[in-house]
Amino acid sequence: MAGRVFDVISVLIFVLMLLLMGKGFTITRGRISTSGSIKIAIFMTLYALTYAVLFFYQAVVCTVVIR
């Protein structure tokens, strides 16, 4: 279970890094606009919540079905 949690965290960090690189952060400019930061924050929050819901769904429902 702990390994799966670290896998989820690594995926979230990887997606965040891809979004930041897509916006050009530290590649072509040193700052992201306020609206860009808000959009990234909203997207990452929704993505993390969706990932967490699916993670717990898989841990509870799929484990019960298999047993």
Enumerate the domain spans of the chain. Answer: 2-66
Contact 32, 23 (CB under 8 A): yes
Q: Residue 2's closest CA among 10, 65, 48?
A: 10
CA distances from 46 to 15, 26, 39, 67 (A): 12, 25, 11, 31
Q: What pLDDT does 41 receive?
A: 94
Q: Is the pLDDT of residue 67 over 60?
A: no
Instruction: Give tens-digit pLDDT for 17-43.
Output: 999 998 888 888 778 889 999 999 999
Q: What pLDDT does 53 receive?
A: 92
What does the pLDDT average to over 3-21? 91
pLDDT band per the 50, 70, 90 thresholds, residue 64: low
What does the pLDDT average to over 50-54? 91
